[in-house]
A and B are shown apart, each in its own frame.
Chain A
Amino acid sequence: MSSDCEYFRSRLAKTLFEPTDKAEKRALESHLRECPDCRDELEATRRTVQTLKGWEDQPVPGHFFVYQPEPRWGRGWGAWGWGALATAALVLLATGIVLSQIQVRIEPGVLTIGWQQLPAQQPVWDPEELKTEVMELVDQRLQEQDRQWQSHLQAVSDRVGEESSSRERQLRGSIADLERRQAQQLETRSAALEADYEENLLRLWRVLQARHEKDFGLIREQLQLMTVSDEIHDTRNEALVATLLQMADLRLQD
């Protein structure tokens, strides 16, 4: 290989891919005319390029469409990442507080969810137990009522007792008072009577005498009328009448 060939070989490929100035182009063409080796070399390069270009593009196995942008914070802890983290922490905290306040009770057939404190547990409904319970309650109520009545009556009777004893005392007092006053009266009367005894006795005597006289006079008169009219036939009646007359006479003589 001549020194010319060496020089041109390094430029052969360039002529296929880069623009060449006219002077260089002329020089190269004149060398190629004289040098078959360099012609072959250029031809080989050209063929190589053509061979490579013979690779036809393959059809795509499917489209490479893009559907969703990736979430921004997935690419690292940027402002978004920290914001999301803080939000998540807050949400967790809030959830924790809420959950700590929620009470759940599970009974057969009943799920109770409540805030803070659950209401008292509902008893299981059993008619027999309920009946017994109701009866006990009624008993208790009745006993309570009895006790109330008892105490009420006790109170009433106590009051009545107190009242009666005070009345009794009152009455006893009154009676004593009355007795005393009567005694006084009697004493006064008796004193008065004693004082007027003689006079009064005479007056009484006279009154009685006058009345007896009148009475016996009437009896005698009546008897005489009866005797006169013969109404008295029976001897026994006659004897009785005679006795009465005698008694009347005797009395009058006293």
Chain B
Amino acid sequence: MLENTIVDDSALITRQPDRRQETEWIRSSQKGDTGAFNQLVLQWEGRIYNLSLRMLSNPDEAAEATQEVFLSAFRNIGRFRLEARFSTWLYRIASNRCLTRLKQRPRRNELTIDEGGLAQLQVAESQEAGVFRREQRETIRRALAGLRDKQRVVVELKIFQERKFEEIAEILEIPSSTVKSRFYAALESLKGSLTSFAPGS
């Protein structure tokens, strides 16, 4: 009964870029090589953009945030220690950027921005294939929007970025126990808002 657990760290390995290659690019970037840094951008832009998108619920704002994350990373790459994990460092920048943006955002406008933003995403999809996904995404978006920012970032890093609790603790610079409690509380909340939507039902 418990065979289908979702502890699937093996899946993470395939999504990681070649570690040695990544180290090379970082080293060159630290010497000011923008070409090497842009290789890192290519490796990471999809993940960082989607993290921003789910955190901010607005494609334009997500794009802006992503650009800011990479600019900040390039400016500070000299301070990055090679023995540390690049993903941890980059996710920290991205998480902080999104949380800062959310904090600065006027609370009342949130919903209008969200709906306008999501409408843009729908344009790209064909109608027949898109109906279900659109519905699913909208449900997820609403469920995620219902979480507190601190919970949402943990869910993002655990569910979508598939980070271990220890790494998330490192990224957010909080104790691992805090990460777990926030995550399970968020999951409980999401379960309440997503039970009506069952995949395949």
Chain A interface (Cβ within 8 Å of chain B)? 13-20, 25, 28-29, 32-33, 39, 44-70
Contact = CB atoms under 8 A, between A and B. Distances in A.
Interface stretch (B4-12, B82-90, B96-104, B107-115): B4-12
Given A15-B5, A32-B1, A54 B70 contact: no
Given A13-B184, A48-B190, 18 more contacts: A16-B7, A17-B7, A25-B2, A29-B1, A46-B4, A48-B187, A51-B139, A51-B199, A55-B160, A58-B59, A58-B121, A61-B59, A66-B38, A66-B70, A66-B71, A66-B74, A70-B71, A70-B75
Nearest to A39: B1
B46 A60 contact: yes
A226 B71 CA distance: 171
Interface residues of B, number: 52
B163 to A, nearest CB: 11
Contacts of B119: none
17 contacts: A13-B184, A17-B5, A32-B1, A52-B159, A53-B160, A54-B133, A54-B140, A55-B136, A55-B140, A58-B49, A61-B63, A63-B42, A64-B48, A65-B41, A66-B70, A67-B34, A70-B71
B46 A52 contact: no
B44 to A, nearest CB: 9
B167 interface: no
A45 B59 CA distance: 29
Given A29-B1, A55-B136, A64 B49 contact: yes
Interface string B9-38: 000000000000000000000001010011
Contact of B7 (A19, A64, A69): A19
B151 to A, nearest CB: 13
Nearest to B35: A65
A67 B74 CA distance: 10
Contact of A66 (B41, B180, B183, B197): B41
A170 B46 CA distance: 135
Given A58-B53, A60-B46, A65-B38, A45 B187 contact: yes
B158 A17 contact: yes
Contacts of B194: 47-48, 51-52
Contacts of B165: 17-18
Contacts of A55: 54, 136-137, 140, 160
A52 B140 contact: yes
A220 B73 CA distance: 174
A211 to B, nearest CB: 154
B191 interface: yes
B49 A60 contact: yes
Interface string B178-195: 001001100110110011
A193 B121 CA distance: 172
Contacts of A13: 184, 187-188
Contacts of A60: 45-46, 49, 63, 66
Nearest to B54: A55
B155 interface: yes
A51 B137 contact: no
Contacts of A28: 2
Contacts of B1: 29, 32-33, 39
Nearest to B48: A64
Contacts of B183: 17
A51 B136 contact: yes
B5 A16 contact: yes
Given A64-B70, A67-B34, A70-B75, A16 B6 contact: yes
A44 B133 contact: no
Contact of A44 (B4, B7, B66, B191): B191
A54 B199 contact: yes
Contacts of B46: 57, 59-60
